[in-house]
Chain A
Amino acid sequence: MALVAFSAVIPLMTVVNYSVQDIFGPGQRYFIGVDWFREALRDPEVHGAFLRQLAFSGIVLAIEIPLGVAVALLLPKAGWKSSLAIVILALPLLIPFNVVGTIWQVYARPEIGFLGRVLNDIGIDFNYTGDAVSAWATIVLMDVWHWTPLVALLAFAGLRSIPDAYYQAARIDGAGRLAVFRFIELPKMKSVLTIAVLLRFMDSFMIYTEPFVVTGGGPGSATTFLSIRLVNMAVGQFDLGPAAAFSLMYFLVILLISYVFYTILQRASAS
């Protein structure tokens, strides 16, 4: 109880207190009601960051979930090859977030990075520091590289839990590869895939470190996601009141989405 109080409840209470005051310094604070909430709710920058965040989460989920399932289906089922493939697959998950950002920051540079140079050499104008499409492509590719292994490992665990009797029955019935996937593998992977969607959505919705290291939110505000906008307000501009109001609304959205996913997960496991 004390641990939860100190790690979550007291900081949250402080943020709520900050969100209704204009704070100039210790002892210099003025109650202003819900003005910071109103300001944040009507701020076009916040609207833009919210839409970009939704778009980013939607894009990475649309790529990572099918790709992760495809990788899991291609993995060797057993033996040393399976173990080796799993270890190699898991490597990106072990790299700290800021290091992932740094790797891709260098890798995608048009002058010295492998990806950036190759793309420019084959005639694609790729420059993530000056072009919004290149910046988005870099960040999405980075996230896919970093997190598809998680989806693949979860899907692989789901696949391994299917008894051989199911496959034998399908063979006797003359089911094709597609039918086996559609009627046996996919239903059996339902719960692990729901967990994968939940984890990846929450994580991508709160992403900060990697895009901050690669693009810093730019060019312009093309890759300024909610967390980057929040840090700019709180640390860059030192607007603690607006940042507190904004972070509470961000928290509410995360809480709502978590509840929806949790309910879906519970219903999936119950059925």
Chain B
Amino acid sequence: MDFQWMAWTTPTAVFFLVIAAILVAMTLAEIRFPTAERRGFLPMPTTRGDRLFLSLMLAAFIHLGFVALSDAQSLAVPLGISIFAGALMMRFG
């Protein structure tokens, strides 16, 4: 089967592999340590999956904000901020 029509590039393939790896890790974590709703700094009780979703959404908007405001080609800065914010969200959210 030819996947030329999907117009794959290395960066997008890496992006989807990372997302897939995160989902697999979350599934394994759920089997090993089932999640319980808890209350952190977010205004509502959240599960681990909720916090991951919010972290990914936050990362997307941090990247978009950076792209809108800066002319830099490298996304290292928003990626670093997103990882830090995501870690905070997962731990204390």
Task: Given the known inter-chain contacts A21-B7, A33-B73, A259-B57, please indicate yes or no for A16 contacting B64, CB distance below 8 A.
Answer: no
Q: Is the interface of B mostly helix, strand, loop or mixed?
A: helix
Cα–Cα, bound, A23→B57 (Å):
27
- Looking at A17, A26, A33, A263, which has the most chain B CB atoms within 10 Å of its CB? A17
When distances are taken between beta carbons in the complex, the residues of chain B under 8 Å from A95 are: none
When distances are taken between beta carbons in the complex, the residues of chain B under 8 Å from A27 are: 4
A252 to chain B, nearest CB (A): 5
Cα–Cα, bound, A37→B60 (Å):
12
Task: Given the known inter-chain contacts A37-B64, A41-B67, please indicate yes or no for A259 contacting B53, CB distance below 8 A.
Answer: yes
Name the residue on A nearest B75 (C-beta): A34
A107 to chain B, nearest CB (A): 41
Name the residue on A nearest B16 (C-beta): A13
Count of B residues near A, CB < 8 Å? 23
Cα–Cα, bound, A27→B57 (Å):
33
Cα–Cα, bound, A23→B5 (Å):
11
**Interface pair B44/A263, CB less than 8 Å apart:** yes
Count of A residues near B, CB < 8 Å? 26
Task: Given the known inter-chain contacts A255-B57, A256-B57, A259-B57, please indicate yes or no for A17 contacting B7, CB distance below 8 A.
Answer: yes
**Interface pair A16/B15, CB less than 8 Å apart:** yes
- Kindly identify, within residues 109 to 154 of chain A, every residue whose CB is under 8 Å from any CB belonging to chain B: none
Interface assignment of A267: CB less than 8 Å from any CB of chain B: yes
Cα–Cα, bound, A267→B37 (Å):
13
Interface assignment of A177: CB less than 8 Å from any CB of chain B: no
- Kindly identify, within residues 13 to 60 of chain B, every residue whose CB is under 8 Å from any CB belonging to chain A: 15-16, 44, 53-54, 57, 60
Name the residue on B nearest A26 (C-beta): B4
**Interface pair A20/B12, CB less than 8 Å apart:** yes
Cα–Cα, bound, A27→B73 (Å):
24
- Looking at B7, B11, B63, B73, which has the most chain A CB atoms within 10 Å of its CB? B7
Cα–Cα, bound, A51→B4 (Å):
37
- Looking at B6, B68, B75, which has the most chain A CB atoms within 10 Å of its CB? B6
Given pairs A13-B16, A17-B8, A263-B44, 6 additional interface contacts (CB within 8 A): A13-B12, A18-B7, A34-B67, A42-B68, A256-B57, A259-B53
Using a CB–CB distance below 8 Å, which chain A residues touch chain B?
Answer: 10, 13-14, 16-18, 20-21, 23, 26-27, 29, 31, 33-34, 37-38, 41-42, 249, 252, 255-256, 259, 263, 267
Sample of 6 A–B contacts (CB below 8 Å): A20-B12, A27-B4, A37-B64, A38-B68, A41-B64, A267-B44
